[in-house]
């Protein structure tokens, strides 16, 4: 048996050469901790424990375990023996399918997310797990997830231009791994010592009239299912998840004052929300196909709502830029100089709010359209607020819809000019 005189170092572990015989090299600084080197030609290296006459317990390969982590694991195994537990049985349990990361994430959704949060938040978290986390960690045991994998996952999100989502995913992963510790699934979190991957600045992006028009025309180009969905985001000013998850029973379109009733379990603030339906919004909804007789407005299989927003947004951006450059060329401008500043789908909502304000809609009515809780509405006004300013909301959304209709009817306008056919005062009076 080969021996060394001083504590293992990462450099020493790397430098040990394979021979014709299998080697078990003890670490002088931690009795029972070994480096195992297989004979040539393979020469694979691994860390293991031999403790108090018990059989060899293999920790894992040198490639998968850093020396520091392997030494900590060796200490944990030795404590298990001292406490009368069987680390082999624990390892077998840890390696079961129940501890595959995707299965632990499903358990987290079931026992924590959907219990502790409303439907809106649960829906958002489930989408993030499905879209951002599972594809990167699927098939890996939860006990084998390393900090470097988390860093790579978050860095990839920042690199593709979604730093805000990266920060939210960071917070979600931190909560998830802490939940794993509480449940006894993990002893330590791979998130320990990690900082958020980016700084999130307050967003104030509002699309210009020209950009909004390009977005509408681009939505027509990309077609079903995201084209109509994006158009509804523009004209209703509601949240992406609320529009994407809408179902036909929520709409009462035949009544004198057509309405969309978002139930509290789907609303972010858990308040039922009444959204007046304009003729433009109704035309979009009535044109939607029914998939397998499903009640869902936006589904491709009749069972679940659509997914793939990131790719759909990329397609929308590409189509917008192509339209803008084509129109620049028709005006005699240089299409190569046309640029569209980065934006996100939530900016449709901010753009509608800003547009309604520019059209003379009072701030508290805009808040009611957005289903925001206002701290400024108290006393007698709060009683009237029970009716959600229904008339004011209908007027606000109608004005906004008319503005959008005027924009999309224009032929190759100068996108830098924001025009209203009437002044806000004239519109408000009418």
What count of other Cβ atoms lies within 10 Å of the Cβ of residue 244?
A: 23
Secondary element (H or E) of residue 24: strand 23-26
How confident is the model over 173-197, as a mean pLDDT? Answer: 93
Predicted confidence at residue 47, as pLDDT, reads 97
Homologous superfamily in CATH for domain 209-429: Intergrase catalytic core (1.10.443.10)
Average confidence score pLDDT of the chain: 88
* Higher-confidence position of 221 and 87: 221
Whether 394 has a pLDDT exceeding 90, the answer reads yes
Whether 224 has a pLDDT exceeding 60, the answer reads yes
Lowest-confidence segment of 10-24, 58-72, 94-108, 304-318 by average pLDDT: 94-108
* Higher-confidence position of 412 and 247: 247
d(CA 332, CA 410): 18
Beta strand residue intervals within 220-308, DSSP E = 251-252, 259-262, 273-276
Whether 38 has a pLDDT exceeding 90, the answer reads yes
Tens-digit pLDDT profile for residues 274-299: 999 999 999 999 999 999 999 999 99
* Per-position DSSP letters for 335-359, written without gaps between them: GGG-------THHHHHHHHHHHHHT
**Quick one: DSSP state of residue 71?**
H
How confident is the model over 133-159, as a mean pLDDT? Answer: 92
d(CA 377, CA 368): 11
Angle at 238 between CA 257 and CA 114, to 5 degrees: 115
Is the Cβ–Cβ distance between 206 and 350 less than 8 Å? yes
How confident is the model over 106-130, as a mean pLDDT? Answer: 88
173 bridge partner residues: none
What count of other Cβ atoms lies within 10 Å of the Cβ of residue 7?
A: 13
* Higher-confidence position of 15 and 269: 15
Tens-digit pLDDT profile for residues 115-126: 988 776 788 899
Task: Name the pairing type of β-strands 251-252 and 45-49.
Answer: unpaired
Task: For the domain made up of 10-94, give the CATH fold.
Answer: Double Stranded RNA Binding Domain (3.30.160)
Identify the CATH assignment for 98-182 out of 3.40.920.10, 1.10.10.10, 3.40.50.880, 1.10.150.130. Answer: 1.10.150.130
Would you place residue 423 in the very low, low, confident or very high pLDDT band (cuts 50, 70, 90)? Answer: very low
Percent of the chain surpassing pLDDT 70: 89
Task: Report domain extents, the chain.
Answer: 10-94, 98-182, 209-429
Predicted confidence at residue 165, as pLDDT, reads 87
How confident is the model over 373-395, as a mean pLDDT? Answer: 60
């Amino acid at each position: 048996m080969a021996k060394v005189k001083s504590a293992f170092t990462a450099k020493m572990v790397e430098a040990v050469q394979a021979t014709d015989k299998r080697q078990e090299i003890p670490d002088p600084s931690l009795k029972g901790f070994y480096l195992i080197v297989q004979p040539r030609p393979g020469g694979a290296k691994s860390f293991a424990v031999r403790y108090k006459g018990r059989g060899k317990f293999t920790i894992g390969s040198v490639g998968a375990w850093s020396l520091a982590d392997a030494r900590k694991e060796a200490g944990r195994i030795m404590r298990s023996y001292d406490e009368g537990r069987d680390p082999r049985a624990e390892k077998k349990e840890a390696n079961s399918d129940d501890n595959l990361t995707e299965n632990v994430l499903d358990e987290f959704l079931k026992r924590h997310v959907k219990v502790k949060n409303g439907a809106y938040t649960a829906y958002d978290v489930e989408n993030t797990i499905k879209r951002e986390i599972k594809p990167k960690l699927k098939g890996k045991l939860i006990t084998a997830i390393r900090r470097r994998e988390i860093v790579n996952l978050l860095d990839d999100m920042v690199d593709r231009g979604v730093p805000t989502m990266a920060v939210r995913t960071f917070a979600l992963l931190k909560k998830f791994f802490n939940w794993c510790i509480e449940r006894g699934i993990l002893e330590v979190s791979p998130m320990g010592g990690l900082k958020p991957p980016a700084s999130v600045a307050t967003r104030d992006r509002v699309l210009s009239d020209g950009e909004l028009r390009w977005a509408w025309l681009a939505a027509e180009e990309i077609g079903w299912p995201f084209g109509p969905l994006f158009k509804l985001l523009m004209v209703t000013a509601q949240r992406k998840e609320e529009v994407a998850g809408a179902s036909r029973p929520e709409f009462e379109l035949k009544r004198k004052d057509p309405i969309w009733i978002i139930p509290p379990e789907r609303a972010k603030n858990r308040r039922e929300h009444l959204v007046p339906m304009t003729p433009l919004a109704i035309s979009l909804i009535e044109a939607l196909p029914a998939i397998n007789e499903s009640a869902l407005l936006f589904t491709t299989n009749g069972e679940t709502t659509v997914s793939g927003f990131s790719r759909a947004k990329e397609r929308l951006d590409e189509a917008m830029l192509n339209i803008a450059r084509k129109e620049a060329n028709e005006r005699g401008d240089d299409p190569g100089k046309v640029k569209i500043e980065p934006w996100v789908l939530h900016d449709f909502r901010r753009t509608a709010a800003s547009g309604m304000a520019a059209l003379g809609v009072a701030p508290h009515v805009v808040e009611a359209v957005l289903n925001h809780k206002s701290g400024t509405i108290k006393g007698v006004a709060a009683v009237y607020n029970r009716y959600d300013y229904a008339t004011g909301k209908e007027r606000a959304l109608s004005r906004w819809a008319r503005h959008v209709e005027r924009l999309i009817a224009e032929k190759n306008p100068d996108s830098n000019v924001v025009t209203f056919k009437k002044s806000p005062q004239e519109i408000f009076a009418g």
